[in-house]
Amino acid sequence: MPKHGKNYKNKAKDVDKSVAHPIDEAIKKVLISSYAKFDESVDIAVKLGVDPRHADQMVRSSVVLPHGTGKTTRVLVFAKGPKEAEAQEAGADYVGSDELVEKIKGGWLDFDKTVATPDMMGTVGKIGRILGPRNLMPNAKLGTVTFDIARVVKDIKGGKVDFRVDKAGIVHAGIGKVSFGEEKISENALAFVEKLIQLKPSTSKGVYLRSISLSSTMSPGFKVDTLDIRTRINQ
């Protein structure tokens, strides 16, 4: 079990973990509970009624948050010719092909996301053992293997979040910074949960949104009323 400091314990002592709050109230409590001197990230954790051991219940995708994540994402694009220029114009941090593969083989990994055109995947496959374990491999299911390079790069730079349900059936994601304020965090949270609802597997039975929790980097978690968030999404 992780050890928490005095500030965390002071904030957590009055948290009733049995109470699920309306989304806006939960966000307010998270912001009030943040105490770090840096701009803390705000995270969401959603427990889904799925069994990830079954391929047809694996929830994995991405969503572009309305207000981004507040983080600077370094994007590397594997492309040649006109697509290389397209990536550069869209704001990619690194663009190239074989020379980037060799650089990565040498241990360079100063980037956060990768995108590749389909014709480059044979080349990218040479470093699959390096990129794969670090979740840096371009993936068609996440839209990062595409000829629509400009759109994807702009989406990633603008706040695209990739997510995947873990073995416990929980999806984790960062949905902003404390400095965003209540309204922007709320809109990001609603967009994220709405995407999860859209992805509900047909084989998932019973309650799909089991529980939702919000927290900042240093704050305790606060439960969110799943009925309230569904109502907000359907308004």
Q: Confirm whether 205 is domain-assigned.
A: yes
- Residue 222, H or E segment: strand 222-224
| SS3 state of residue 45 | strand
The pLDDT of residue 1 is above 50: no
Q: Confirm whether 87 is domain-assigned.
A: yes
Q: Are 210 and 105 in the same domain?
A: no
CATH number at residue 29: 3.30.190.20
Q: Confirm whether 56 is domain-assigned.
A: yes
Q: Confirm whether 5 is domain-assigned.
A: no
**Contact of 104 with 131, CB cutoff 8 Å:** yes
| pLDDT tens digits, 142-180 | 899 999 999 999 999 988 998 999 999 999 999 999 999
- Identify the band that residue 2 occupies on the pLDDT scale cut at 50, 70 and 90: low
| pLDDT tens digits, 77-103 | 999 999 999 999 999 999 999 999 999
| pLDDT tens digits, 7-16 | 554 454 455 6
Which residues does 159 contact at the CB level (< 8 Å), separation at least 6? 64, 65, 66, 67, 68, 69
Name the domain boundary from 97, 125, 157.
157
What domain count does the chain have?
A: 2
pTM beyond 0.95 = no
Name the domain boundary from 116, 133, 157.
157
Name the domain boundary from 157, 189, 213.
157
- Determine the structural domain holding residue 93 and report its residue range: 75-157
Q: Are 65 and 178 in the same domain?
A: yes
The pLDDT of residue 224 is above 70: yes
